[in-house]
Amino acid sequence: MDMTDNSDDVVLLETSLAADLGTEKIAMQEVELSLRQIGVPVDRIDDFKTMTAEGCLNAIEHGYGFDANQQYELMLIQSGRELILRVRDRGRSSAGPACCVKGNWMNDYGEPRGWGLVIIDALSDSWTLKCDGGITELEVRVEIWICGGGSTVV
């Protein structure tokens, strides 16, 4: 799996997980461990964990329809002061609706859905959802001040 752009980028985490509900929690734990090791502040770790969960859930549900026999890919990269999260699946022909329009959900009558990308949009500096050649990739970028190496256990 090659999802790096720059030879100076540091791959903090690279893994594949089954497209089964619940595996997003494994992804969250692994992302947390990686971010603690490089000194990311705790409040930003929580943001990243949530973005990770929502990115994974997008792949699990929309990419593979909860098919536990399929796998999605997750990569966390440090690129200078930027952290890049990439979630990739190969289960769909188009990226689908990119974002939920928040609108006035109080007056809507359907099941309120699509909040994952709304949350990612608010917590990140930028994100893209692209589908190319059967591969759908969600990329989330966050500029972050790293406190320095070592664990930050709170």
Partner 1 sequence: MCDLTVKTRSQDGMWVITLVGELTSQDRETIYGTVPWLSPDIVTQTVAFDMSGLSYINSAGIALLIRFAREAQQRGYELFAYGVSTHYQKVFRIVGLTGYIELFADEYGALETFRRRRVHAREQSE
Report how far residue 75's alpha carbon sits from residue 153's, in angstroms, rounded to the nearest whole number. 23
- Binding to partner 1, residues 28-87 (CB under 8 A): 43, 46-47, 50, 53-54, 57
Query: Closer to partner 1 at the Cβ: 18 or 118?
Result: 118
Q: Which stretch binds partner 1 (CB under 8 A): 89-97, 113-121, 128-136, 143-151?
A: 113-121
| DSSP string covering 111-141 | ----HHHHHHHHHSSEEEEEEETTEEEEEEE
Query: Closer to partner 1 at the Cβ: 91 or 116?
Result: 116
In angstroms, what is the minimal distance from the CB of 113 to partner 1?
A: 6
Task: List the one residue out of 119, 127, 138, 112 whose CA is nearest residue 46.
Answer: 119
In angstroms, what is the minimal distance from the CB of 121 to partner 1?
A: 9
- Show Cβ contacts of residue 83 under 8 Å, excluding neighbours closer than 6 positions: 12, 35, 40, 48, 76, 77, 141, 142, 143, 144
- Show Cβ contacts of residue 144 under 8 Å, excluding neighbours closer than 6 positions: 40, 41, 44, 81, 82, 83
Per rule CB under 8 A, is residue 115 in the interface with partner 1?
A: yes
Q: Which stretch binds partner 1 (CB under 8 A): 71-79, 82-90, 115-123, 139-147?
A: 115-123
Per rule CB under 8 A, is residue 24 in the interface with partner 1?
A: yes
- SS3 call for 82: strand
Per rule CB under 8 A, is residue 154 in the interface with partner 1?
A: no
Site residues, partner 1 (CB under 8 A): 21, 24-25, 43, 46-47, 50, 53-54, 57, 102, 105-106, 111-116, 118-119, 122-123
